[in-house]
Amino acid sequence: MKTEVRNLTRVFGKNTAVDNISFSFEDGNIFGFIGPNGAGKTTTIRIMATLDLATSGDVFYDGVSATLYPEAVRRVVGYMPDSLPGYKDIQVWEYLDFFARSFGLKGAERTRALNDIIDFTNLGELRNKFLYALSKGMKQRVSLARALIHNPKVLIMDEPAAGLDPRARLELRTLLKILAEQKKAIFLSSHILSELQDICDGAVIIEQSKLLSAGTLGELLSNVTGEAAPSAEPAATGPRAAEVSGETASGAASASVPPQQHEGPPAVSIVLKTPRGGGEAVRLKLLEHPLTKSVDLVDDDEVRAVVQGTDAEVSAVVGTVFAANLTVLSFTRNQMGLEELFMKITQGKVK
């Protein structure tokens, strides 16, 4: 199933919460929805889930309009809000059973769906507990079960990992990967970019209600570096890193080098740690190399650069620092991840 957001705009009085954004994703993919607070993420998600109406534009699920046919869309979309109501007089199984009935599940079909989803989300021991007595992690599991009770093709999630402890986050990631393997399309907003990095195939980045970039991680990387995305698997589905230590290579400032016409290998991010005060000399030396795309002085002892090249070429770039007799305490190399892409693409503006 293909989900398409086309020219979506939502205006509240004089405030434009969502400003003409468009993007798409397909089944089997996990897409992250990234942006600062107030950027329009929750408003977009509510429109996608048919809980709000757009001022203009629309959302389509395999060509079916969410505006014109909301009932049909609700059959194929599961929505997980950022919090679960704390009703004091309803048990977990009753809550899920209510939503199963709401989607028209009856008799043995409803019983089977209820048991299956309780088993999938590991809620068996909690089925008779009252909602208000659940921890944050337990509530998130119930919320996910509610969104999946009718076996939707698309799952839309608003900050599903917010407030979860490390174990609960790991369990959630595992469940999402299983759902993606079942060919469900998953669209989730989150501020925890390191979590998204481990599971996402792509991302949509917005700021001040406007779309900045959208696509697979390889496409986002291409937008940042100005280079063609690699033809194989998307580049940044997971960090690739190696560390070395040495004694030769020595923030506040940043500079960019115009993109070179270099095809093939994706850009990678490198981080060099230097003695205190040695970062500026290393930054300037890296800027001299034609394969260097950008260099940032994070602190006076840390330099981050984006380099386009093969393993050997990246090594050669770093080698120029060693050849200049500049001191480097450690060197880390990894594919540019979501956190770095987000910082490169956004400007830190708020409305």
Least confident of 102-106, 252-256, 325-329: 252-256
CATH number at residue 319: 3.30.70
Both 105 and 26 in one domain: the answer is yes
For the chain, what is the domain count? 2
Both 191 and 132 in one domain: the answer is yes
**Does 16 map to a domain?**
yes
**Does 203 map to a domain?**
yes
Both 140 and 199 in one domain: the answer is yes
- The pLDDT of 281-295, averaged and rounded, is 91
Q: What is the pLDDT of residue 312?
A: 87
Task: Report the range out of 100-114, 151-165, 232-246 with the highest average pLDDT.
Answer: 100-114
Confidence of residue 37 (pLDDT cuts 50, 70, 90): confident
Q: What is the pLDDT of residue 319?
A: 92
Q: What is the pLDDT of residue 336?
A: 63
Both 280 and 146 in one domain: the answer is no
**Does 344 map to a domain?**
no
- The pLDDT of 146-151, averaged and rounded, is 96
Q: What is the pLDDT of residue 226?
A: 57
Both 215 and 288 in one domain: the answer is no
Q: Phi/psi at 216 (nearest 5 deg)?
A: -65, 165
Q: Is it the case that residue 239 has pLDDT exceeding 50?
A: no
Both 216 and 256 in one domain: the answer is no
Q: Is it the case that residue 111 has pLDDT exceeding 90?
A: yes
Residue at which a domain ends, from 193, 225, 257: 225
**Does 159 map to a domain?**
yes
- The pLDDT of 97-118, averaged and rounded, is 96
Q: Is it the case that residue 299 has pLDDT exceeding 90?
A: no
Confidence of residue 250 (pLDDT cuts 50, 70, 90): very low
What percentage of the chain exceeds 70 in pLDDT? Answer: 86
Q: What is the pLDDT of residue 218?
A: 76
Q: Write out the residue range of the structural domain in which residue 65 sits.
A: 2-225
